[in-house]
Amino acid sequence: MFKRSALMYQYDKTFNGFLCCIYSCCRLHEIPSGFCGNEDSLFEKREICTNHKVVTEMRHILRSRLGSNGFSLLSNAFLYGEAHKETDLLMFTLFALHTGPSAVFMRGHPLVARVCDMERGVLNEAHHFLGFIRFTDYGYALSAIIEPKHFVLPKIRTHFCDRFSGETFLIFDKTHKAALLHHSNILRIVPLDAFSPAQPDDAELLFRSLFQRYHTAVSIPERKNERCQNTNLPKRFRGQMTEFSFHPSTTSLSELSVHLLEKEQSS
Amino acid sequence: MDIFEKLTILTDAAKYDVACTSSGVDRGGAPGTIGNAAACGICHSFSADGRCISLLKVLFTNACVYDCKYCLNRRSNDVRRAAFTPRELADLTIAFYRRNYIEGLFLSSGVFKNPDYTCEQLIETLSILRNEYRFRGYIHVKAIPGADTRLIDQLGLLADRMSVNIELPTSEGLQKLAPDKTRQAILKPMGLIHNRIQENNYDLVQYRHAPKFAPAGHSTQMIIGATNDSDLHILRLTQALYHKYALKRVFFSAYIPMQSHALLPSLDTKPPLLREHRLYQADWLLRFYGFHAEEILDDEHPDFNPILDPKCNWAVNHLDQFPVEVNRAPYEILLRVPGIGVKSARRIITARKNGSLDFGDLKRIGVVLKRAQFFLTCRGKQMPHLKFSTDTIIHALSGQSLSPANSDTAQLSLFSESSPTKEDVQKCLSGQL
Q: Element (H or E) spanning A173, and its range? A: strand A169-173
Give the per-residue pLDDT at B429: 61
Q: Are residues A96 and A144 in the same domain?
A: no
A8 and A44 in contact (C-beta within 8 Å)? Answer: yes
Long-range pairs, B267-274, Cβ under 8 A, ≥24: B269/B225, B271/A222, B271/A223, B271/B225, B272/B224, B272/B225, B273/A223, B274/B306
DSSP class per residue in B324-380: EETTT--HHHHTTSTT--HHHHHHHHHHHTTS---HHHHHHHT--HHHHGGGEEBTT
Terminal Cα distance for chain B, rounded: 89
CB contact under 8 A, B362 and A108: yes
Of A162, A215, A242, the CB nearest to B36: A162
Q: Is the pLDDT of residue B422 over 50?
A: yes
Q: Residue B413: its pLDDT value, please?
A: 61
CB contact (8 A) between residue B49 and residue A223 = yes
Determine contact: A123 vs chain B, CB below 8 A. no
3-class state of residue B73 by DSSP: coil
- Give the residue extent of every domain in chain B: 3-296, 310-406
Distance CA A200, CA A214 (A): 20
Whether chain A has a CB inside 8 Å of the CB on B268: the answer is no
Q: Is the minimum CB–CB distance between B347 and chain A shorter than 8 Å?
A: yes
DSSP-assigned beta bridge partners for residue B12: none
Predicted pLDDT of residue A20? 96
> Count of CB contacts below 8 A, A vs B?
167
Give CA–CA dist B166/B172, Å, rounded.
13
Question: pLDDT value at position B259?
Answer: 73
Shortest CA distance to B311 belongs to which of B344, B359, B270, B349? B344
- Which residue of A lies nearest to B347 if distances are taken between CA atoms? A107
Task: State whether A232 and B50 contact (CB < 8 Å).
Answer: yes
Q: Which domain holds residue A212?
A: 129-266
Q: In what order do the strands lie in the sheet with A178-183?
A: A136-137, A142-146, A169-173, A178-183, A186-191
Check whether residue A35 and residue A139 sit in a common domain.
Answer: no
Mean pLDDT of B285-305: 91
Q: Does the distance separating the beta carbons of B33 and A108 come in below 8 Å? A: no
Share of chain B above pLDDT 90, in %: 55
* Res B402: pLDDT: 47
Residues 163-182 of A with CB under 8 A from B: 163-167
- SS3 assignment, position A30: strand
Cα B263 from Cα A149, distance rounded (Å): 53
> In terms of domains, do A52 and A178 share one?
no
Query: Quick one: closest CA in B to A141, which residue?
Result: B98
CATH of domain B3-296: 3.20.20.70
Average pLDDT over every residue of A146-169: 94
A142 interface with B at CB cutoff 8 Å: yes
Residue A47 shares a structural domain with residue A76: yes
Closest CA to B59 of B14, B15, B7: B14
| Residues A248 and A138 both lie in one domain | yes
Confidence of residue B405 (pLDDT cuts 50, 70, 90): very low
| A222 vs B contacts (CB less than 8 Å) | 256, 271
Best CA proximity match to A46, nearest among A88, A6, A90, A2: A6
**B208 burial level (CB within 10 Å; 0-12, 13-18, 19+):** exposed
Poorest-confidence range of B121-130, B132-141, B231-240, B313-322? Answer: B313-322
Task: Give the distance from CA B83 to its chain's centroid.
Answer: 29
Q: What is the pLDDT of residue A250?
A: 46
Mutate to test the interface with B, among A220, A236, A244, A252 (most CBs of B within 10 A): A220
The count of structural domains within chain A is 2
- The Cα of A126 is separated from the nearest Cα of chain B by a number of Å equal to 11
Please write the tens of the pLDDT for every residue from A41-83. Answer: 788 889 999 999 999 999 999 999 999 999 999 999 999 998 8
If asked whether residues A219 and A249 sit together in one domain, one would say yes
Question: Averaged over A11-34, what is the pLDDT?
Answer: 94
Closest CA to A178 of A202, A206, A135, A148: A148
Query: B431: which residues sit within 8 A by CB, 6+ positions away?
Result: none
Domain co-membership, A209 together with A144? yes
Q: What share of chain A is helix, strand, coil (3-state, %, to 5)?
A: 55, 15, 30
What is the pLDDT, as a whole number, of residue A118?
Answer: 96
Of A108, A137, A222, the CB nearest to B361: A108
Tell me if chain B has a CB within 8 Å of the CB of A254. yes
Alpha carbon dihedral B164, B169, B170, B174, in 10-degree steps, equals: -60
Identify all chain A residues contacting B6, using CB atoms and an 8 Å cutoff. none
pLDDT 10s digits, B182-207: 888 888 889 999 999 999 989 888 88
Say if residue A97 is in the same domain as residue A138: no
B45 part of contact set with chain A, CB < 8 Å: yes
Give the three-state DSSP class for B142: strand
Residue from B17, B87, B88, B101 to probe the interface with A (highest A Cβ count within 10 Å): B101
Asked if the C-beta of B72 comes within 8 angstroms of chain A's C-beta atoms, the answer is: no
Check if B13 contacts A (Cβ < 8 Å).
no
Chain B residues inside the 8 Å CB shell of A220: 15-16, 49, 51, 256
**Min distance A53 CA to chain B CA atoms (Å):** 35
The answer, for B100 touching chain A at a CB cutoff of 8 Å, is yes
Selection from A67-81, B73-87, B165-179, B414-428 with the highest mean pLDDT: A67-81
Q: What is the pLDDT of residue B412?
A: 61
pLDDT at A225 over 70: yes
- In A48-135, the DSSP E strands lie at none
Calculate the average pLDDT of chain B: 87
Smallest Cα distance from A192 to chain B, Å: 22
**Does residue B362 sit at the A interface (CB-CB below 8 Å)?**
yes
Burial class (CB in 10 A: 0-12, 13-18, 19+), A97: middle
Determine whether the interchain pair A209/B31 forms a contact, defined as Cβ–Cβ distance below 8 Å: no
Cis peptide, bond prior to residue A234, ω within 30 of zero = no
| Element (DSSP H or E) covering residue A169 | strand A169-173
CA angle, corner B105, sides to B99 and B111, nearest 5?
145
Contacts of A146 (CB under 8 A, 6+ apart): A129, A133, A152, A171, A172, A173, A174, A175, A240
pLDDT at A261: 56
Q: 0.95 cut: is pTM over it?
A: no
Question: Mean pLDDT for chain A?
Answer: 90
Taking contacts as CB-CB distances below 8 angstroms, the residues of chain B near A218 are 11, 14-15, 47, 53, 57
pLDDT at B174: 81
Residues A165, B29: C-beta atoms closer than 8 Å: yes
Task: Residue count of chain A, please give it.
Answer: 267
Residues A75, B167: Cα–Cα separation, whole Å: 49
Q: Which one of B4, B12, B50 has the shortest CB-CB distance to A229?
A: B50
Nearest Cα of chain B lies from the Cα of A213 at a distance, in angstroms, of 7
Q: Do A223 and B36 touch (CB under 8 A)?
A: no
Residues B247, B311, B279: CA angle, nearest 5 degrees: 45
- Mean pLDDT along residues B202-213: 89
Same domain, A17 and A133: no
Whether A260 has its CB under 8 Å from any CB of chain B: the answer is: no
Give the residue from chain B lying closest to A234, CA to CA.
B46
DSSP notation for A188-251: EEEE-S---PPPP-HHHHHHHHHHHHHHHHTS-GGG--HHHHHHHS-GGGGGG-HHHH----SS
- Cβ-Cβ contacts under 8 Å for B33 (sequence gap 6 or more): A165, A166, B134, B135, B136
In this structure, which long-range contacts are made by residues B186-191, counting pairs with CB atoms below 8 Å and at least 24 apart in sequence? Answer: B186/B145, B188/B145, B189/B143, B189/B144, B189/B145, B189/B147, B189/B152, B189/B164, B190/B143, B190/B164, B190/B166, B190/B218, B190/B220, B190/B245, B191/B245
Does residue A211 surpass a pLDDT of 90?
Answer: yes
CB A247 within 8 A of CB B58: no
Are A198 and A235 members of one domain? yes
